[in-house]
Amino acid sequence: MINFFYAYQPLIDFFLLNAGFALSQYIVLRAGVFSIATVGIVSIGAYSAAIVMKSLGLSIWIAAPFSALVGLAVGLLLSVPLARLRGPYQAIATLAFVQIVAAVALYAEPLTGGALGMNDIPKQVSTLGLVFALAFVLYILGSLSRSRIGAIFDALRQDEAVAGSLGISISFHHALAFALSGAIAGLFGALQAGYIYSIEPHQYGFVMLTMTLAAVILGGRRSIWGPVVGAAIMTFLPEIARPLAENRLLLNGLLLVVVIIFLPRGVVDGLIALVRRRRTSAVTWPAESSKEVRT
Amino acid sequence: MSLTVSGVSRSFGGVEAAQDVSLQVDPGRIVGLIGPNGAGKTTLVNLITGVLRIDRGTVSVDGEDVTAKTIVGVARAGVSRTFQNVRLLTDSTVLENVTLGLAQQEHSSFLDCMLGLPAAQRDRRAVRDKAMQILADVGMVEYAHRIASGLAYGHQRRVEIARAIAVKPKYILLDEPVAGMNDVEAGEMIQLFKSFAERGIGILLIEHNMRFVNALCEQIYVLNTGRIIADGTPAEISQSPDVIAAYLGT
Ligand SMILES: Nc1ncnc2c1ncn2[C@@H]1O[C@H](COP(=O)(O)OP(=O)(O)OP(=O)(O)O)[C@@H](O)[C@H]1O
Ligand SMILES: [Mg+2]
């Protein structure tokens, strides 16, 4: 058991980091915001932590909360222009944001080390630290889920005009989702920087973006466990499928397609819905079909 | 004290969907709004509630001008509504749909919610209890834990009415609330809407079923091609030549 843990420790650590990124992506999607800014804010969080750790010699205990605050501020700032956009337009605008961040990381060489990135970042983050951070984030998101905020996020995702007609502020709660997403991204960016010794711009690009998005789509957008399970699949599956070598990416793609077709709500939310259906099996249950009756 | 619409107009391209519409709903009164298909009834509800922008005219709620307000602003001024094409959260349970209407009445702070403190939990419990009471009023208690999209259409309408009344509105706009209900169900709604009015809520009732409208309304406005062509008691309306012409087509 202990041996097993040591053999797979790096993988477990990557899973914990990926779960953090996925939770940042999840919270905006849950609230019905199609932002994919997470990767950009993770990058900002990683660089800000690396900079304060290296140049000011601060410990991760200061750097991580600092990056979380930076991420929160960036999330809030982004929410202002994005409030007027919806759906695919939000996705495109936040994609542009991710690319701007990557460009700045590349060209602000004195600060970020440019294309070579930043090296010799003190390694101060352990597996335990990552577990602790993830547990902390899950606790907060779990509490929010059980409160009215979770209910309001679910409503905004399904039909924001209805939420508005009940007097629920759409812009306030979208900004809240952005701020939470930004804070989580900043925090886990810092933890990543304090874990992997060196960071460079291309880490925060397309691969991380699809990984994070796929984790939420695979896992689910409603339960907080969805993105965690999704991140686990995205982290461990390529390892299990190692014998497939180059075809591993194919497997990822295939899995995504299968889940979208058979469990469109994601693995966790899909299974929860199945269990609920079992419990009330006498009930007529047309999936998502009230639209059919609409006149 | 009233919901007052004065001289409201709105056109879409060339189509005048509302032309100089004026009407008034007093607290505790049930006012009917009838008119043929495409007359502009739903458009008027959307204009009042801030879903659509008003070109000319004003809307006020108990003296407060809400003409330029957003959906949220009008709702907070005390105007609630149901939708002609029922809009429930289809992925959520009946209870969750109704508690959403009560969310604005919770007092716990954001910090309470974030840390899962007792204040937030108390709020949720209180809101759930209140939602169950409201569901009892509309006869939907036994469906509380069903997913909304699985319900019969008439039941979905009841849930939407429950959600709209949960926000404790001063005025409620009901857009064809008994469409798809049978006579027995519609009869139950008559009692329900009367009880809303007795609580002091002003109701604007849009409905094609004239028996239903006559059973509830002392005053009826008739809309045709975006204009109010008549208003008065059910008896006066049924005698108006304009109304007869509008319905039979001239
Ligand atoms: N957003 C819009 N854009 C263009 N035209 C619109 C829009 N909304 C409504 N209209 C037009 O306004 C007119 C009034 O439509 P409305 O739906 O308000 O009628 P209604 O009285 O509610 O009819 P029904 O009894 O069928 O519900 C119609 O001619 C409709 O095509
Ligand atoms: Mg209509």
Q: Establish if B163 touches chain A: CB-CB under 8 angstroms.
A: yes
pLDDT band at B86 (very low <50, low <70, confident <90, very high): very high
Task: Give kind and range of the element (H or E) at residue B60.
Answer: strand B56-61
What pLDDT digit, counting tens, does each position of A9-63 carry? 889 999 999 999 999 999 999 999 999 999 999 999 999 999 999 999 999 999 9
Query: Averaged over A60-84, what is the pLDDT?
Result: 96
Of the residues B112, B140, B168, which one is the last residue of a structural domain?
B168
For residue B113, which of A219, A173, A79 has the smallest C-alpha distance?
A173
Mutate to test the pocket of ligand 1, among B43, B210, B224, B225 (most ligand atoms within 8 A of CB): B43
Distance CA A77, CA A120 (A): 31
Average the pLDDT over each of A184-188, A207-211, B2-6, B74-78 and give the range with the smallest value. A207-211
**Same domain for B5 and B28?**
yes
B positions 96-115 inside 8 Å of A (CB)? 96, 99-101, 103-104, 106, 108, 110, 112-115
User: How many A-B residue pairs are in contact by the CB < 8 A criterion?
Assistant: 126
- Name residues whose C-beta falls within 8 Å of residue B140's C-beta, 6 or more positions apart in sequence: B94, B155, B158, B159, B162
Report if residue B57 sits inside a domain: yes
- What's the confidence (pLDDT) of residue A293? 35
> Do A290 and B49 lie within an 8 Å CB cutoff?
no
What CATH architecture applies to the domain A2-294? Orthogonal Bundle (1.10)
- What's the confidence (pLDDT) of residue A262? 87
- What's the confidence (pLDDT) of residue A280? 63
**Same domain for B200 and B246?**
yes
Query: Averaged over A105-114, what is the pLDDT?
Result: 91
Cβ B12 under 6 angstroms from ligand 1: yes
> Do A144 and B114 lie within an 8 Å CB cutoff?
yes
Report chain A residues whose CB lies below 8 A from the CB of B113. Answer: 143-144, 147-149
Report if residue B119 sits inside a domain: yes
**Same domain for B205 and B158?**
no
Tell me how many domains chain B contains.
Answer: 2
Residue A284 has pLDDT above 70, yes or no: no
- What's the confidence (pLDDT) of residue A6? 77
pLDDT band at A285 (very low <50, low <70, confident <90, very high): very low
**Same domain for B134 and B176?**
no
Residue A158 has pLDDT above 90, yes or no: yes
Average pLDDT, chain B: 94
pLDDT above 70 covers a percentage of chain B that reads: 99
Of the residues B145, B168, B191, which one is the last residue of a structural domain?
B168
Report if residue B83 sits inside a domain: no
**Which spans in A31-59 are helix H?**
38-55
Of the residues B127, B143, B168, which one is the last residue of a structural domain?
B168
What pLDDT digit, counting tens, does each position of B214-232 carry? 999 999 999 999 999 999 9
**Same domain for B18 and B65?**
yes
The residue extents of the domains of chain A are: 2-294
**Same domain for B13 and B133?**
no
Instruction: Name which residue sits closest to atom 26 of ligand 1, judged by CA.
Output: B37
Residue A292 has pLDDT above 50, yes or no: no
Query: Averaged over A73-85, what is the pLDDT?
Result: 94
Instruction: Name which residue sits closest to atom 2 of ligand 1, judged by CA.
Output: B12
Q: Establish if B82 touches chain A: CB-CB under 8 angstroms.
A: no
Domain containing B240 equals 1-78+169-250
Q: CATH code at B41?
A: 3.40.50.300
What pLDDT digit, counting tens, does each position of B178-220 carry? 998 889 999 999 999 999 999 999 999 999 988 899 999 999 9
- What's the confidence (pLDDT) of residue A288? 38
- Name residues whose C-beta falls within 8 Å of residue A80's C-beta, 6 or more positions apart in sequence: A175
Task: Give kind and range of the element (H or E) at residue A154.
Answer: helix A148-158
- What's the confidence (pLDDT) of residue A291? 36
